[in-house]
């Protein structure tokens, strides 16, 4: 009989599904990126996507389902008890005979970035959430306050298009407006407006993908001095700051450690603004930290914890040498 000495970690927090296969000493045997989402809110075929990603990752590792002793999955959109049914289906393969754990993608992001030490992770990319674990080990979210930082990529673009159609632009925005018209395949703002009247696109997922893919243009334009881009980026950054400070009230430590995950919040413009706004008259409100590991490795660490495998220096060294 083969030994069950493999752990699977899944990061289902973006447009892609990432799967890592590790042995119980932290040696990575496979890291597979499947180009489709793991969240039912992003793709109705999420279950098939994750099943395929797991199978391909195990093939890459040259291993079998029977070698796996635990699976941990961080899934975007797993925000309430009623989500558990579809989330559990994502890893429900008949070949598995091991425990499986499912959490929100922010949890595995935190485990990876801060290794579950007290602090906050800000996720702004495909989605947006601000998640912390305080000194007593209690998880807290900005969602708990019904606060939402509209800083996901698509929201930046929605905001920019609306401001543009409202006429809130100036000479500094010419380049970004030209890029906007090209991105939506329109010749002028009147045509973009007519497209808006019909909802920009008939398919919700495709519309969100279209808007999200314009966000890098906006964050770059903000860095180059576009007033429009800076307006929408600063608005999102302000909402992130509010979320960080709300959660920080639950910590006794000062400053609170904050790690950033996602293409939007890690763009140079966002990083420079967050660093500047982290400081107050009496010192730092929070301190931006480099992420130790990506979320998919956070899922591996989460599985180790559930299996009561001590996270030794050897394991950390092995994971770092991926």
Residue 1 covered by a domain = no
CA angle 205, 129, 322 (to 5 degrees): 90
Host domain of residue 38 = 6-113+293-320
Instruction: Mark whether 227 and 300 lie in a shared domain.
Output: no
Cβ neighbors of 166 (< 8 A, separation 6 or more) are: none
Q: Are residues 169 and 309 in the same domain?
A: no
The residues near 165 (Cβ < 8 Å, ≥ 6 apart) are 189, 192, 193, 196
**pLDDT tens sequence across 49-73:** 999 999 999 999 999 999 999 999 9
Kindly provide the residue ranges of all beta strands, DSSP E only, lying in 165-281, ordered along the sequence. 256-261, 279-280
Quote the pTM value. Answer: 0.86
- Give the start-end residues of each E strand in the chain: 6-12, 17-23, 28-34, 68-75, 100-104, 119-124, 128-133, 139-141, 256-261, 279-280, 283-284, 286-289
Backbone angles phi, psi at 77, to 5 degrees: 95, -5
- Find out whether 149 and 142 touch, Cβ atoms under 8 Å: yes
- Residue 280's pLDDT is what? 73
Are residues 72 and 127 both part of a single domain? no
* pLDDT at site 31: 95
269 and 124, same structural domain? yes
Give the domain CATH number at 71: 3.30.420.40
Query: pLDDT: is 43 or 21 the higher one?
Result: 21
Contacts of 197 (CB under 8 A, 6+ apart): none
Question: pLDDT over 70 for what percent of the chain?
Answer: 98
228 pLDDT higher than 90? yes
For residue 129, pLDDT beyond 90? yes
- Check whether residue 220 and residue 316 sit in a common domain: no
Please check the confidence at residue 2 and state whether its pLDDT lies above 60. no
Q: Which of 197-206, 279-288, 293-302 bottoms out in mean pLDDT, i.e. has the lowest?
A: 279-288
Q: Do 130 and 279 belong to one domain?
A: yes
What pLDDT is attached to residue 127?
85
Q: Quick check: is 251 in a domain?
A: yes
Are 296 and 9 within 8 A, CB to CB?
A: yes
Q: Is residue 305 situated within a structural domain?
A: yes
* Same domain membership, residue 40 and residue 122: no
Q: Assign residue 200 a region: left if phi > 0, alpha if psi is -120 to 50, beta otherwise?
A: left
- The total domain count for the chain is 2
The model's pLDDT over 33-48, given as tens digits with 9 standing for 90+, comes to 999 999 988 889 999 9
Q: What angle do CA 198, 200, 205 make, to 5 degrees?
A: 120
* 63 shares its domain with 186: no
Residues 152, 217 share a domain: yes
Per residue in 175-225, pLDDT (tens digit) is 999 999 999 999 999 999 999 999 999 988 889 999 999 999 999 999 999
Tell me the average pLDDT across 94-118: 93
Residue 221 shares a structural domain with residue 75? no
d(CA 147, CA 134): 18
Say if residue 284's pLDDT is above 80: no
How far is C-alpha 259 from the chain's CA centre? Answer: 12
The Cα–Cα gap between 206 and 26 comes to 38
User: Which whole number is the average pLDDT over 293-307?
Assistant: 95
Q: Give me the chain's average pLDDT, please.
A: 93
> What is the number of helices (H) and of strands (E) in the chain?
12, 12
The string of pLDDT tens digits covering residues 148-158 is: 999 999 999 99
* Whether the predicted pLDDT of 137 surpasses 80: yes
**Is 138:304 a contact under the CB 8 Å cutoff?**
no
CB atoms within 10 A of CB 84: 11
**Each residue's pLDDT tens digit, 76-88:** 989 888 999 999 9
Q: How confident is the model at residue 1 (pLDDT cuts 50, 70, 90)?
A: very low
Residues 144 and 286 in one domain: yes
Q: Taking the CB of residue 248, how many other CB atoms lie within 10 A of it?
A: 20
Residue-level pLDDT at 147: 96
Q: pLDDT class for 282, splitting at 50, 70, 90?
A: low
At residue 297 the predicted structure's pLDDT band, cuts being 50, 70 and 90, is very high
- pLDDT value of residue 43: 86
**Predicted pLDDT of residue 108:** 95
């Amino acid at each position: 009989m083969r030994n069950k000495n493999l752990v699977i970690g899944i990061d289902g927090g973006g447009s892609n599904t990432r799967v890592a296969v590790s042995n119980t000493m932290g040696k990575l045997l496979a890291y597979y990126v499947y180009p489709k989402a793991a969240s039912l809110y992003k793709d109705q075929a999420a279950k098939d996507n994750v099943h395929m990603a797991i199978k391909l990752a195990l093939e890459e590792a040259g291993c079998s389902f029977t070698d796996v002793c635990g699976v941990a999955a961080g899934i975007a959109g797993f925000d309430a008890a009623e989500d558990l049914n579809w989330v559990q289906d994502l890893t429900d393969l008949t070949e598995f005979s091991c425990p499986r754990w499912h959490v929100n993608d922010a949890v595995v992001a935190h485990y990876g970035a801060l290794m579950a030490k007290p602090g906050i992770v800000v996720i702004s990319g495909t989605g947006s959430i601000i998640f912390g674990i305080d000194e007593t080990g209690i998880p807290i979210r900005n969602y708990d306050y019904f606060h939402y930082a509209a800083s996901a990529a698509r929201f930046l673009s929605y905001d920019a298009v609306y401001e543009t159609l409202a006429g809130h632009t100036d000479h500094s925005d010419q380049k970004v407006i030209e890029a906007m018209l090209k991105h939506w395949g329109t010749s002028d703002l009147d045509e973009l407006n007519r497209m808006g009247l019909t909802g920009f696109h008939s398919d919700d997922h495709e519309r969100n993908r279209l808007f999200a893919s314009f966000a890098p243009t906006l964050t770059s334009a903000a860095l180059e001095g576009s007033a429009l881009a800076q307006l929408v980026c600063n608005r999102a950054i302000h909402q992130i700051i509010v979320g960080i400070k709300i959660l920080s009230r639950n910590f006794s430590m000062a400053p609170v450690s904050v790690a950033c995950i996602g293409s939007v919040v890690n763009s140079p413009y966002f990083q420079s603004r967050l660093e500047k706004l982290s400081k107050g008259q009496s010192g730092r409100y929070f301190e931006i930290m480099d992420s130790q590991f990506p979320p998919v490795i956070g899922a591996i660490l989460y599985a180790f914890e559930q299996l009561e495998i001590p996270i030794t220096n050897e394991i950390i060294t092995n994971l770092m040498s991926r």
